[in-house]
Amino acid sequence: MQRWQARFLDSQQPGGWALVHVKQHFMADSNGVLFPREWLNKQDLPVIAEHGLGHFDGDAVYLLELEQPFNVPGCTWQSLRQFMLEGDTDTFKMLRYATQIGTWASQHRFCGGCGGSMQAVPGHRAMHCQRCEVQHYPRLSPSMIVLVTRGDEVLLARSPRFVSGIYSTLAGFVETGESVEHCVAREVREEVGVEITNVHYLASQSWPFPHSLMLGFHAEYASGDIVMQVEEIEDARWFNVHDLPPLPAARSIARYLIDVYVARRLGQPEPMLPG
């Protein structure tokens, strides 16, 4: 049985547990990130929205979205990335979902058309503007991530934003009007200047930084020399599967794409993509 199950809950219902979130950080104490909801409601937190998220170990879980961090004695603020690297899988699944709902709630407090206040739609995960009669649902931004291969070699790159020394796969957002497959070829061409062939899909992963759905691919090198897009890529090169550089976090789809290919080349069991 899954410990975490996303489900719409009516925030008017009493009881349950709650997460406290602001800008991809969660409040935590020595017991973790879940707090008695009724206790939190007595702390005078600067709450801008409350949403019912689902159930963790069968208990109802709600989200309190804050306008800014708030100091509660005995508590600290931890980033979502910390939980991705250090926390257990089920807790990260819950926080991954919570941060996307919290970001959406924070960014849709007011209507983009008329500036009026948006109101939560009863019974649905949506925000509604009574003036414009428009509804906004949680945002999802499709993007692709691809490992380009050439026999025993893989093409890896690093962005100036990466942790020092880390090399990863290529990625980019799908643009309006294009297919994901077209996006794969375009982004590879733009970022490293090579052409690819035999693009095939492997897996997807929700990537809450802040609201992406990563669609993962393998593709084979077709032609061209590496020419880096200087504003995006700090370094890019071919690495042999027997001599790889420091790689992304084990829970990331980038690492999964690399590990699957290496396992196939070396005749080893293929890994599973963490949920």
* pLDDT for residue 167: 98
* pLDDT for residue 226: 98
53: tokens are: 């998220």
Q: What percent of the chain has pLDDT over 70?
A: 99
pTM across the whole model? 0.91
* pLDDT for residue 86: 87
Tens digits of residue pLDDT in 229-267: 999 999 999 999 999 999 999 999 999 999 999 999 999
- Give Cα 209 distance to the centre of its chain: 4
Distance CA 244, CA 23 (A): 34
Question: With helix as H, strand as E and coil as C, how does 155-189 read?
Answer: EEEECCCCCCCCCECEEEECCCCCCHHHHHHHHHH
Please state, rounded to an integer, the average pLDDT across all residues of the chain.
95
Q: Does domain 4-107 have CATH number 1.20.5?
A: no
Tens digits of residue pLDDT in 20-56: 999 999 999 999 999 999 999 899 999 999 999 999 9
* pLDDT for residue 241: 98
- Please report, for the chain, the start and end positions of each structural domain, with discontinuous segments joined by +: 4-107, 141-266
Q: Which CATH fold would you assign to the domain 141-266?
A: Nucleoside Triphosphate Pyrophosphohydrolase (3.90.79)
Distance CA 180, CA 123 (A): 33
Domains 4-107 and 141-266 equal at CATH topology level: yes
